[in-house]
Amino acid sequence: MYYVIILYGVGFVLNLINPTFYMQYLSLDARAILHGQVWRIFTFIIQPPSSSPIWMALALYVYYMIGSQLEQAMGAFRFNLYFFTGILLHAASAVIVYLMTGNVLLMSTWYLNMSLFLLFAAIYPNVRFLLFFVVPVEAKYLALLDGVYFLIAIVQAFRGIEGLPAGVAAGVSLFNFFLFFFGFRKMRPYSPREIYRKNVYKKKVRKEVQYEDGARHKCCVCGRTDITNPELEFRYCSKCAGDREYCQDHLFTHVHVKE
């Protein structure tokens, strides 16, 4: 996600220097792609989420926070696979619509990034966000609003050509979310970093720590164990002093304990 943020920054600066360059040479134009400009399949992703510096900075912060958390939870391999599958689905749908209707759909990665929040909420449903920087709301409820936003865009696509780009982008992004969450959520990540992390974890759990109720894993934040909540996954935090273990809901949200 770090590199995606850099690409958005490059797109923002490019838009300030030459506002027409992106649309002329880099946008997702199916007609141009079929005439040999295949680089557009990937270069369209640099379109920034906003032209306002303030909203741009806020959007990039949110993207980086959610994206980096997902990358740690899913592994770099699966996260990259999710993101680039979404990009290819956008490009393929744009080409298909052009061949069928002759309409050029100028889509960005806005809905793909929005689908990242759906994925985040599916993995961490109880994480709280400050809505309007004041009201604490859990991720699962914000995901419901996110889903309604997607459905509205899809419905608008059936009302006219004006809503077709957003509707198609929302549809393929939702398809990508369901494909990965329900189809590949049990697939093991194969990245070297993930393999190394698992090996370190296995060495630590060899100590066979047992608590009073017979549990071998216990979250240092909420106190839930593998006995009371067998559906949870538990991990040690490499940044905390000592062998401190956390459940999947608090692994990336707890305050690190130092010596």
Per-residue pLDDT of the chain (259 residues; tens, 9 = 90+): 888 888 888 989 998 899 888 888 888 888 988 888 889 888 888 888 878 888 888 888 888 888 888 887 777 888 888 888 999 999 899 899 888 887 887 888 888 888 888 888 887 778 777 666 667 778 788 888 888 888 888 888 777 667 778 888 888 888 888 888 776 554 444 444 555 666 666 665 545 555 666 778 888 888 888 888 888 888 888 778 777 888 888 888 888 887 6
- In this structure, the answer to whether residues 66 and 176 fall within a common structural domain is yes
Per DSSP, the three-state class of 161 is helix
CB-side exposure of 250: number of CA atoms within 13 Å? 18
| Total Cβ atoms within 10 A of residue 12 | 20
Within 13 A of 126's CA, how many CA atoms are on the CB side? 8
- Regarding whether 211 and 128 lie in a shared domain, the answer is no
The pLDDT, as a whole number, for residue 17 is: 92
d(CA 198, CA 41): 36
Claim to verify: residue 157 and residue 103 sit in the same structural domain? yes
Domain containing 149: what range? Answer: 1-186
Q: 126 and 215: one domain?
A: no
First to last CA, the chain: 31
pLDDT at position 191: 46
Name the pTM for this structure: 0.64
Residues 135 and 230 in one domain: no
Q: Is 254 inside any structural domain?
A: no
> Facing residues of 218 across strands?
225
Q: Which helix (H) or strand (E) holds 131?
A: strand 128-131
Residues 182 and 63 in one domain: yes
223 and 171 share a domain? no
Number of domains in the chain: 2
Same domain, 202 and 229: yes
Instruction: Give the residues across from 225 on adjacent strands.
Output: 218
| Predicted local distance difference test score (pLDDT) of residue 22 | 87
Inside any domain, residue 213: yes
